[in-house]
């Protein structure tokens, strides 16, 4: 199974490709680049592979796309051999899978761990990047591929006094590897996004008391997680190639039953029956109950009201239930959450919910939290489930200087601008895996990662076969793509939510809908057509004479 690497790249200062990040994207890239015979160095700031699943070790962390689908599909040997133990597997198992794949493909020898890429500069005369790290490496490469992740830049809230707290603090995205013992502790959890919704029920079982500080409630659907059923696993494994093909054409890259009718085209009884069926099925397929839930506000309202009523039915305290029932955004326009006994957890005696929308957290004090009205909460531990500087954070943190000397951060001051979410004008030979402007976070991300990697590899092969050393998205193609992105997003309800998709969780970040909402299948088709037309929208040039003479 392992490929024959063209040359050991560990320590090399000149390679064909530098890849930043060793999550699922970086791993698959390295495998494909080797297949192409390209020397590659991968830099990863963590001590191991796995990306998201290396960092997010909080209690309850698990995927919300079924494991039979949230896994690599590029190798039948891999998908047949690995066995998942649960319908939605937990973080340790997903991390073990990433390591297993990396070992099976013998990938780790080309990954430099504990090394952060800090800058990259384009040399216009040589058609090469020079990449620098916090360990003093300086590596030149023809191509730079950012596999830095959409949700890899953990974000603490801007609350005064955050450093003054004398107890323990944790961020879900930087969870200690040795785990955390919450026995006999009073715990504050700040945030009620996907991470918090997974963590709170588990922390509540261990801790003396948990106070959840909620600014915005989220809609959550029960996962109905269960041990993997042998028959179900066999059903998938006996039909994997066909099912993977189908998933790749779906809007979300996930194979589940979709609807051909809108929510208001059926009777109320039929509508409720369908919502009940999806609620019992569990998971994100709830949002596919009708085909207009993300575009028609009235249809969306019926789904939102159904979930609000479920919350009211589960949570015994009426005031708490009302606080937990989201009313400020259409369902699905913030990433829908998937939980295991989240709402039920508020029926426990040791769990309290505090609304910090009406009464904000004014300060973190040495002993706990103080709200705007002066109410103090003394706690032993604070868990920040406050999310990420999503989609752009990891990219703009690296000082990437393109052909004009402008940094990516400056170029994106008014919001990210890309062609297909893969490339940016002014940054030749730089590729992003699941960058802003691609379906990425709106999809099964492994499906999107594989599509981006395959497409990029095809482009690199195309260039090499033709002696092309420089490729760059044209300004016009990029402008048109940004326009198209915005037009498609505006046809949906997504821009109505102050979500991290819109950059709304980071003060000062431009409000732009960042992922491409046209759908994974449609996007794949567009990318294929662009390639078939000789990479329409890209400018390609041959090697400068100086480099050719090397």
- Give residue for tokens 């960042």: 514
Structural element, H or E, at residue 20: strand 14-20
Q: Can you tell me the distance from the alpha carbon of 123 to that of 401, in angstroms, rounded to the nearest whole number?
A: 9
In SS3 terms, 101-126 reads as HHHHCCCHHHEECCCCEEEEEEECCC
Distances (CA, A) of 441 to 217, 357, 363, 429, 446: 20, 26, 32, 24, 10
| 67 touches, from ligand FAD, ligand N01, none (C-beta below 5 to 8 Å by class) | none
| 37 touches, from ligand FAD, ligand N01, none (C-beta below 5 to 8 Å by class) | none
Closest CB to ligand N01 among residues 105, 433: 433
Beta carbon of residue 175, minimum distance to ligand FAD (angstroms, whole number) = 10
Residues 101-120 interacting with ligand FAD (rule: CB under 6 A): 116-117
Report if residue 195 touches ligand FAD, rule: CB under 6 A.
yes
Beta carbon of residue 49, minimum distance to ligand FAD (angstroms, whole number) = 8
Do the bridges between strand 361-364 and strand 368-371 make them parallel or antiparallel, or are there none, so unpaired?
A: antiparallel
| 149 touches, from ligand N01, ligand FAD, none (C-beta below 5 to 8 Å by class) | ligand FAD
Question: Rounded to the nearest 10 degrees, what angle do helices 230-237 and 240-249 cross at?
Answer: 80
Report if residue 394 touches ligand FAD, rule: CB under 6 A.
yes
Stretch that binds ligand FAD, among 41-49, 119-127, 260-268, 488-496 (CB under 6 A): 41-49
| 46 touches, from ligand FAD, ligand N01, none (C-beta below 5 to 8 Å by class) | ligand FAD
Contacting residue, 18, 41, 57, 64, with ligand FAD by CB under 6 A: 64
Nearest to 223 by CA among 461, 433, 345, 64: 64
Contacting residue, 152, 192, 386, 469, with ligand FAD by CB under 6 A: 152
Report if residue 63 touches ligand FAD, rule: CB under 6 A.
yes
Computed on alpha carbons and rounded to an integer, the radius of gyration of the chain in Å comes to 24
Residue nearest to ligand N01 (CB): 193
Contacting residue, 148, 223, 320, 469, with ligand FAD by CB under 6 A: 148
Q: Can you tell me the distance from the alpha carbon of 331 to that of 460, in angstroms, rounded to the nearest whole number?
A: 40
The half-sphere exposure of 35 on its side-chain side, counting CA atoms within 13 A, is: 15
Closest CB to ligand N01 among residues 63, 303: 63
Closest CB to ligand N01 among residues 192, 252: 192
Neighbours of 243 (CB within 10 A): 17
Contact 517, 489 (CB under 8 A): yes
Q: Can you tell me the distance from the alpha carbon of 78 to that of 239, in angstroms, rounded to the nearest whole number?
A: 14
| 26 touches, from ligand N01, ligand FAD, none (C-beta below 5 to 8 Å by class) | ligand FAD
Quote the DSSP letter at residue 229.
P
Nearest to 281 by CA among 220, 336, 225, 343: 225
Residues 66-95 interacting with ligand FAD (rule: CB under 6 A): 70
Beta carbon of residue 438, minimum distance to ligand FAD (angstroms, whole number) = 11
Could you tell me what percentage of the chain is helix, strand and coil, using 3-state DSSP and rounding each to the nearest 5?
35, 20, 45
Beta carbon of residue 249, minimum distance to ligand FAD (angstroms, whole number) = 17
Report if residue 386 touches ligand FAD, rule: CB under 6 A.
no
Closest CB to ligand FAD among residues 101, 460: 101
Closest CB to ligand FAD among residues 51, 326: 51
Structural element, H or E, at residue 209: strand 209-214
- Give residue for tokens 């189908």: 246
Stretch that binds ligand FAD, among 150-158, 260-268, 348-356, 482-490 (CB under 6 A): 150-158
Closest CB to ligand N01 among residues 21, 387: 387
Stretch that binds ligand FAD, among 2-10, 57-65, 493-501, 521-529 (CB under 6 A): 57-65
Structure tokens at 528: 């294929």
The secondary structure of 127-159 as a DSSP string is: TEEEEEETTS-EEEEEEEEE---SS-SB-----
Q: Can you tell me the distance from the alpha carbon of 149 to that of 65, in angstroms, rounded to the nearest whole number?
A: 17
| 473 touches, from ligand FAD, ligand N01, none (C-beta below 5 to 8 Å by class) | none
Contact 293, 303 (CB under 8 A): yes
Closest CB to ligand N01 among residues 222, 426: 222
The half-sphere exposure of 64 on its side-chain side, counting CA atoms within 13 A, is: 25
Structure tokens at 326: 């989201």
Report if residue 44 touches ligand FAD, rule: CB under 6 A.
yes
Beta carbon of residue 434, minimum distance to ligand N01 (angstroms, whole number) = 12
| 18 touches, from ligand FAD, ligand N01, none (C-beta below 5 to 8 Å by class) | none
| 224 touches, from ligand FAD, ligand N01, none (C-beta below 5 to 8 Å by class) | none
Report if residue 224 touches ligand FAD, rule: CB under 6 A.
no
Beta carbon of residue 250, minimum distance to ligand N01 (angstroms, whole number) = 17
Nearest to 94 by CA among 78, 60, 71, 113: 71
Report if residue 24 touches ligand FAD, rule: CB under 6 A.
yes
3-state secondary structure of 103: helix
Report if residue 46 touches ligand FAD, rule: CB under 6 A.
yes
Beta carbon of residue 63, minimum distance to ligand FAD (angstroms, whole number) = 3
Contacts with 187 (C-beta within 8 Å, 6 or more apart), sequence order: 203, 207, 209, 210, 211, 379, 380, 381, 382, 383
Beta carbon of residue 449, minimum distance to ligand FAD (angstroms, whole number) = 6
Positions in the binding site for ligand FAD (CB under 6 A): 20-26, 43-46, 51-52, 54, 56, 61, 63-65, 70, 116-117, 147-152, 195, 394, 398, 433-434, 444-445, 449
């Amino acid at each position: 199974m392992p490929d024959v690497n063209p040359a050991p790249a560990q320590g090399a200062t000149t390679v064909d490709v530098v890849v930043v990040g060793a999550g699922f994207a970086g791993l698959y890239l390295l495998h494909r680049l080797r297949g192409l015979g390209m020397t590659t160095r991968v830099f990863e700031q963590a001590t191991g592979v796995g990306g998201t699943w290396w960092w997010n070790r909080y209690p309850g962390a698990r995927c919300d796309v079924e494991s039979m689908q949230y896994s690599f599909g590029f190798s039948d040997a891999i998908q047949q051999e690995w066995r998942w133990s649960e319908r939605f597997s937990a973080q340790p198992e997903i991390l073990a899978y990433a390591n297993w794949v990396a070992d099976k493909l013998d990938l780790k020898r080309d990954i430099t761990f504990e090394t952060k890429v800090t800058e990259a500069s384009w040399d216009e005369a040589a058609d090469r990047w020079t990449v620098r790290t916090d360990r003093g490496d300086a590596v030149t490469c023809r191509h730079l591929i950012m596999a830095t992740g959409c949700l890899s830049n953990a974000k603490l809230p801007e609350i005064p006094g955050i450093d003054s707290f004398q107890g323990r603090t944790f961020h879900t995205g930087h969870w200690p590897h040795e785990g955390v013992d919450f026995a006999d502790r009073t715990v504050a959890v700040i945030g009620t996004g996907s991470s918090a919704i997974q963590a709170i029920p588990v922390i509540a079982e261990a801790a003396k008391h948990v106070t959840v500080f909620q600014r915005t409630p989220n809609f959550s659907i029960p996962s109905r997680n269960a041990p993997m059923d042998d028959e179900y696993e066999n059903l998938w494994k006996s039909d994997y190639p066909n099912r993977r093909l189908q998933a790749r054409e779906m809007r979300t890259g996930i194979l589940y039953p979709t609807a051909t009718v809108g929510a208001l085209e059926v009777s109320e009884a039929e509508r409720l029956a369908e919502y009940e069926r999806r609620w019992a099925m569990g998971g994100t397929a709830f949002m596919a109950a009708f085909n207009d839930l993300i575009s028609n506000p009235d249809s969306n309202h019926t789904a939102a009201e159904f979930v609000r009523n479920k919350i009211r039915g589960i949570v015994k305290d009426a005031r708490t239930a009302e606080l937990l029932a989201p009313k400020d955004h259409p369902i699905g326009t913030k990433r829908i959450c998937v939980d295991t006994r989240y709402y039920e957890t508020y029926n426990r005696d040791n769990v309290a919910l505090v609304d910090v929308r009406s009464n904000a957290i004014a300060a973190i004090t040495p002993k706990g939290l103080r709200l705007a009205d002066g109410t103090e909460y003394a706690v032993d531990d604070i868990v920040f489930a406050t999310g990420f500087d999503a989609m752009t954070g990891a990219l703009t943190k690296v000082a990437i200087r393109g052909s004009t000397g402008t940094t990516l951060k400056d170029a994106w001051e008014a919001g990210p601008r890309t062609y297909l979410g893969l490339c940016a004008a002014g940054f030749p030979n730089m590729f992003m895996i699941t960058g802003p402007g691609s379906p990425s976070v709106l999809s099964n991300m492994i499906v999107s990662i594989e599509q981006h990697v395959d497409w990029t590899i095809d482009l690199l092969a195309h260039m090499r076969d033709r002696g092309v050393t420089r490729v760059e998205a044209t300004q016009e193609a990029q402008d048109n793509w940004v326009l198209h992105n915005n037009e498609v997003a505006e046809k949906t309800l997504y821009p109505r939510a102050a979500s991290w998709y819109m950059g709304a969780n980071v003060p000062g970040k431009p409000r732009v809908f960042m992922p491409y909402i046209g759908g994974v299948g449609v996007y794949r088709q567009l990318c294929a057509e662009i390639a078939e037309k000789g990479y329409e929208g890209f400018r390609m040039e041959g090697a400068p004479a100086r480099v050719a003479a090397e």
